[in-house]
Structure 1
Amino acid sequence: MLIRQTSTYMVAHGTSSALGFLSVILFTRLLTPAEYGVYVVALSVAGIVSALLFTWVRLSVLRFESEGEATDIRLTALVAYGVSAATLPVALGVTVWALAVPLDKALAAIVLAAALGLFELGQEILRARLDSTSYMRATVVRAFAAIGISFALVQAGWGGLGLVAGVAGAYVIGALAFSPAIWRGPRKPVDPVTFRAMLGFGVPMAMSGGVFALHSALDRLLVAYLLGDAAAGVYGASADLVRQIILFPALSVGSAVVPLAIRALAEEGKAAADAHLTRSGELLLAVVAPAVVGLAIVAPHFAALVLGPEFRDTAAVLVPILVFAWLFHAVSQQFVQISFHLAKKPSLMVAHGTAILIVNVVAMTLLVPSFGLKGAAWSLVIAEASGVVAGYLLSRRAHPLPFAWRPILKVVAAVLIMAVPTAFVGGSGATGDVATFAAAVVTGVLAYAAAAFAFDIAGVRSLVMQRIRPGSALT
């Protein structure tokens, strides 16, 4: 089940990341750094607003709806979304007057936040009900719509705001196009008791979501404040490049892990949930770690080939740093925080996010004024690494996470085996040479695949052997 679900989510997030990657390539050529910075700031504000207003709804859906087929809180969750959406005018006022964001940018960010919240609500319903196929299709449709609408609006002269509007429109299209799969009957009526339970579970989640969103946006917003929209655009393009590549394998695993872990705990008990978490942790590292190290090695080639001329040199420096921030981010978000979901202790998630935010603020305050964009990138690495440690310690008060050294050492060994020949091949040609870049990528993939098979990482060798035997079945 884990492998099957993960494979489907990988198609979904892989397609989305590929199109997001294409979007970065395209729009760093069509927009100036300052125009791209408008998109970066609006997206950051939208992420904070969406987290504060809608995280409690979607995470409540994931936690309660995942308990089994007999559970149905969809209509109650829809009412909860409506209640949160009613406060959007207040959020607009705060964004304009308290944060001093211009009205056009603030309005675009608020619309994007509402669209994002609606789309993610539907996706969490599909995910909780283990309908990974519909989840995949909605993700793919949304990704294609985003790049198509955004391109049309940018070409029409809307600049960075066109990119924001295109992304918002795509979220609405994705939510509406798959509403039959999300809301099909039979449906249980709105339940006030369930709504109160969602509030009790979700309000701390909203606080946590706001904290994590602020942490995620802090580097971009602070860069924009201190160094201007152009610097934020260059930094944001580098961060987007990393996010599109690292987030897709992390989300592919994480999307399957949480609902299956909740169901295993509810139906089979702690031992089954822990066995699932151990397998999932190994799988998460197995797919994310090689992507992180490989991207760090080929970053100069990669930036020269895919980004616009005004973005390349800075990205070549920032990407090898930012990839490690996203490695730690993936471990925190897609593995460590499962503990708080399983134990239904969202207050610990708030504590986890607050710890990361505090470290990030201190590091940014110390490093950005002196080191500029590199200081912002290193601050993010320090904060995310601290988050993994803090989250694991906090998990001892929730559902203690299983910890096994052997899977970690196997992945580390395989990544080292991959890194050496990849670095050698990548350094053999001129920066930006397509043939050198392709040869380095192929070398890394083949080296890691061979090592993963030899070490039986995430059971890949066992799975292959099982598949080639008559009567075998994928589990």
Structure 2
Amino acid sequence: MIGKHVGYYFASKLFAAILNLVSMALFVRLAGHEIYGGYIVAMAWAAIAYSLSLQWLRFAFFASYRDETSGAQIATYLRVLAAGMIAFAILTGAGVALKLVSANTAVAVYVIVSGLAAYDAMHETARTRLMARTVAIGVITRSVLILVFGIAALTLHPSALTLALAFGAAHWGGALALVHSVSDVIRAPWSHDAARRLLRSGRPLIPAFAVDSFGLQFDRLQLARHAGLADVGPYGAVSDFIRQIMIVGSEAISGAYMALARADAVNGREEAARQLLGQAFRAYAMLTAFAIAFVMHFAGPLLTLVFGASIATAVQPILAIILATNTIMVFRAYYFAQILFMDNGSKLLLIANVCHAIVAAILSLTLIPVYGAAGAALSLMMGHLVALGCYAWAWRGRYVTDLPYKDAAIIALSAGAAYAAMQGLDALMGRGLPSHAIGVTLFLGIAFAIAWRFRILSINELAKPVLRYLAQRRERSAT
């Protein structure tokens, strides 16, 4: 089952990530630094609004889901979500009536928030029910629509507002592609018990997500205030680019391991859950270590190709901080934050997120006026680090002590060796196509060997058909 899930999740996430990176590169070039910076700020406000309103439902559903009552739970979840969308529409309308926000901004925020909520609901339902193929279809559809709608928006009427509307509309399209995941249960009756479990799991999540979103977006809002939208554009674009690289693997790992680990945990198969969690930790270690090695070595040509030389030069001094920030984010959000939903850890999530928001806000207010984008990057990194420390301390006697740290160290050292080898080739041969080609081949070889050694993402099982085919061809050639 893991091999099947990995195939669907990883292939779809990889394809979607490539499309998202293409979209990002095209949007930056079509919009320019100023408009793209405005789009990033608009998305920051929408993210905060989403966290204050509807985001908690997705995670509360995941935490309270039980196979034996799946139909009633899903139907109840979707009805609560629909009621939440109506309430949010009323609130945004009231904001316009009271002149707290412009009509254009209100429409953009509502389209984004409702689109995110609809897509997340369909995606989470399909993922929790282990419908990997349906998830893959939705993921790809959303990414295709982001690209198509975004290009159309910037071609017809280039502005931060139209680009934000395109993003929200694309999520609605992705949600429609995932409707199959609930088609068999959508008419199930309302369940008071499911609603109570949903609200019980979600109560601590509402403030937790609100403060977390504030902590995640405050650096961008402060940078826009002190340095202007033109500086937010490059910083936000490269940060999102690195984050996207990390997320594609993180979501594949989460979909392949964490959902299955949760199923084992809630059904009393504790040892099986621990083995899956250990394997997920190795996979995250490999993802982050090899991503850092690759990006650090190829940052110059890679960022120049994607965004242009001006952005590549602007972010080069803070690239290491951005990479460290996203590495910490992966373990915080895609490992420990997933574990807590197996262990009724909603209160811990709130504590960790509050600590993150406080640290990020204090450092943003202190560092950004002086250091600009470097201060923004450092503020976000320290916020993630403090939140990760909260998880490590809380679970020091259960999950943290049992993790395969030795294997993770071997993986990290191997990634460091790959980086050193590529740097050495450039020193000997000079930076150019031959050294890059040999370096990439060496890098991929080391990465494959490590993945095979530690059975990362079931690569051994996925490679068996290919190896069997090659062996059969050799046998036929010999005869």
**What's the TM-score once normalised by structure 1's chain length?**
0.89
Distance 2:387 2:192 in 1: 36
Residue 359 of structure 2 corresponds to residue 368 of structure 1: no
* Matched-pair contact (CA < 8 Å) for 1:343–1:398: no
Using a 3 Å threshold, how does the CA distance of structure 1 residues 44 and 54 change in structure 2: closer, same or farther?
same
Distance (Å, rounded) in 2 between the aligned partners of 1:117 and 1:292: 32
How far off its partner does 1:255 sit? 2.3
Distance 1:175 1:375 in 2: 37
**1:114 aligned partner:** 114
Partner deviation per Cα, 1:202-249 (whole Å, 9 max, x = no partner): 121122222222222122111112211111112111112112211110
Per-residue deviation, 1:464: 7.6
User: In the alignment, what sits opposite 2:162?
Assistant: 162
Letter in 2 for 1:302: L
1:450 aligns with 2:455: no
What does residue 235 of structure 2 align with? 235
- The residue that corresponds to 1:55 in the other structure is 55
Describe the superposition over 1:130-172 as per-residue Cα deviations: whole angstroms up to 9, x where unpaired. 0011001111011001100110111002322222111111111
For 1:18 and 1:306, how far apart are their aligned partners in 2?
11
One-letter code of the match for 1:178? L
| Residue pair 1:16, 1:139 contacting (<8 A) in 2 also | yes
Q: Which residue of 1 aligns with 2:38?
A: 38
Q: What is the alpha-carbon distance in structure 2 between the residues aligned to residue 133 and residue 290 of structure 1?
A: 28
* Per-residue CA distance 1:361-415 (angstroms, 9 max, x = gap): 2222222122111111122222222222221212359877732322212211211
Shift of residue 128, structure 1, vs aligned partner: 0.5
Tell me the amino acid that sits aligned with residue 230 of structure 1: A
Match of 2:78 in 1: 78
1:334 aligned residue: 334
**1:11 equivalenced with 2:11 (yes/no):** yes
Which is further off, 40-49 or 457-466? 457-466
- Cα distance between partner residues in 2 of 1:38 and 1:101: 16
C-alpha distance 465-141 of structure 1, shift in aligned 2 (>3 A): closer
Contact kept, 8 Å, 2:16 with 2:139, in 1: the verdict is yes
Structure 1 residue runs without a partner (length 5+): 471-475
* Rounded Cα–Cα distance in structure 1 between residues aligned with 2:461 and 2:252: 19
| Contact preservation (8 Å) 1:305, 1:434 | no
SS in 2 for 1:288: helix
1:316, CA displacement in angstroms? 2.8
C-alpha contact 2:64 2:197 (8 A) present in aligned 1: no
Q: Aligned ranges for residues 283-298 of structure 1 at < 5 Å? A: 283-298=283-298
Secondary structure in 2 matching 1:87 = helix
CA 1:460–1:128: 2 relative to 1, 3 Å: closer
Task: Name 1:404's counterpart in structure 2.
Answer: 404
What does residue 472 of structure 2 align with?
A: none
Range that drifts further, 146-155 or 418-427: 418-427
Percent sequence identity is 20
Inter-partner Cα distance in structure 2 for 1:95 and 1:408 = 50
Q: Counterpart in 1 of 2:246? A: 246
Q: What one-letter code is carried by the residue in structure 2 that aligns with 1:448?
A: A
Which deviations, in whole Å up to 9, do the C-alpha atoms of 1:308-363 show, x marking residues without a partner?
35423213333332111111101011111233211213111111111111221222
2:163 maps to a residue whose letter is L
* Equivalent in the alignment of 1:211: 211
Counterparts of 1:294-333 in structure 2 under 5 Å? 294-333=294-333
The question of whether the paired residues in 1 share the 8 Å contact of 2:360 and 2:383 is answered with yes
Q: Which amino acid is 1:182 matched to? A: V
Contact 1:296 1:320 in 2 (8 A): yes
Q: 1:96 to 1:234 in 2, by over 3 A?
A: farther
Letter of the 1:68 counterpart: D
CA contact (8 A) 1:456 1:462 kept: no
Q: 1:424 — aligned with what?
A: 424
SS of the residue 1:249 aligns to:
helix
Task: Return 16-25 or 56-65, whichever deviates more.
Answer: 56-65
| Other-structure match for 1:473 | none
Name which one, 1 or 2, has greater alpha-carbon Rg: 2
Cα–Cα, structure 1 residues 97 and 40, in superposed 2: closer, same or farther, change >3 Å? farther
Tell me the SS of whatever aligns to 1:71. helix
Q: Matches of 2:376 and 2:94 in 1, distance apart?
A: 26
CA distance in 2, matches of 1:323, 1:94: 41
CA–CA separation in structure 2 for the residues paired with 1:103 and 1:426: 55
Once residues 175 and 430 of structure 2 are traced to their aligned partners in structure 1, the CA distance between those partners, rounded to angstroms, is 45
Superposition CA RMSD, Å = 2.9
Distance 1:208 1:23 in 2: 31
> Following TM superposition, by how much is the alpha carbon of 1:15 offset from its aligned partner in structure 2, in angstroms?
1.5
Question: Which stretch shifts more, 111-120 or 153-162?
Answer: 153-162
TM-score, normalization by structure 2 = 0.89
Which shifted more, 181-190 or 412-421?
181-190
Instruction: State the number of aligned residues.
Output: 467
Q: CA contact under 8 A between 1:321 and 1:377: conserved in structure 2? A: yes
Cα distance between partner residues in 1 of 2:253 and 2:457: 15
Structure 1 counterpart SS, 2:70: coil
